[in-house]
Amino acid sequence: MRRTAAAALLALLTAGCGGGSAVSDYGTVVQGAKGSTVQVEVPPGQRFSLAVADNPSVGDNWDLVAVPDAKVASFISEERESAGDAPGSGGTAYFVFNSKQRGTTEVRLRNCWRCGQDKTPSTEESKQQSGEAIFAITVK
């Protein structure tokens, strides 16, 4: 009987700990891309996500360069969703935030294409393919 109770408790404690997104609500999704600046307007207290096309399997990797002004928006998490089940399928990276109080801030997402662990382009092709997506956030 103890073994069954312990197994049930373990199953309960580990439920939801598999692969998949840690955040189920992305809120308002705003799409961005390398080389662009996107204006984002949200009311206070709203969840929103900054989304960029992503394919880590080919060396395409996005990072949050710096968190925004914490008085205006707070960073929650980075999530990825694949566009397919086949190896090498691209997808989308979502950087999830909550808006706070009225104000403006900027979020920069950096794409370092085939940069490896040092996060610095090592070839001319990598330098040309890398770049930033900028989001100008206004909480109204």
Q: Which pTM was predicted? A: 0.79
Q: What is the pLDDT of residues 89-100, one digit of tens each?
A: 789 999 999 999
At 21 the pLDDT is 54
The Cα 120–Cα 140 span in angstroms is: 36
d(CA 122, CA 130) in angstroms, rounded, equals 11
Average pLDDT, the chain: 82
pLDDT one-digit tens code per residue, 98-127: 999 999 999 999 998 887 676 777 788 877
79-110 CB burial, b ≥16 within 10 A, e <16: beeeeeeeeeeebbbbbbbebbeebebebebb
**Structure confidence by residue, pLDDT tens digits, 17-35:** 334 456 678 999 999 999 9
Q: Which residue's structure tokens are 């399928």?
A: 89
